[in-house]
Amino acid sequence: MKKSLYKWQLAGFIFTSIAGVLLHFLFDWTSGSVLVALFSAVNESIWEHMKLMFFPMFFYALVESRYIGKEYKNFWCVKLMGIVLGVVLIPVVYYTINGIFGMTPDWMNITIFFVVAATSYFVETQLFKKGGESCKSSRIVLVTLWLVALIFVVFTFAPPQIPLFRAPVTGTYGF
């Protein structure tokens, strides 16, 4: 069971990393497809980078749940914590580094993404091993994650006019 967990979590990190990078460019590769905009980055805002973490982690959790979800009574609770951790760490680390150095070069943004993904899957693995975190209802967690997905979609097309949603180079917001 433990070896299986490690393999699944490592595969999740690899999937999230590759999918996140591909989704970063997919919108441009498809000449601005509205369908692709639903789950990929449409600009360089921090919000869109958070979306690059959320959708691969959520999709992978849906697949992973079919194979090892039943082995862990706390599966969806842990996945919710891991996904939220990843999505929250993106702006925290970005704004911290930007505040310290006054800028974040592209290589640093890529590094942040990989480090945050690794951290999220590491924390999930530790929580699975510990086995103490448990949610009252997996359905509530799934509904919460689908609502977060909906918020990402809505704010892609109708973002609040605050810095989190502003593309730093172009100054544009959303789609």
So what's the pLDDT on residue 49? 94
Above 90 in pLDDT, residue 69? no
pLDDT of residue 133: 64
- pLDDT above 60 for 1: no
pLDDT at 105 over 70: yes
Q: How far is CA 17 from CA 40, 89, 110, 141, in A?
A: 13, 15, 10, 23
Q: Quick one: which of 149, 140, 5 has its CA closest to 72?
A: 5
Residue 83: pLDDT band (50, 70, 90) is: very high
pTM: 0.91
At residue 17, does pLDDT exceed 80?
A: yes
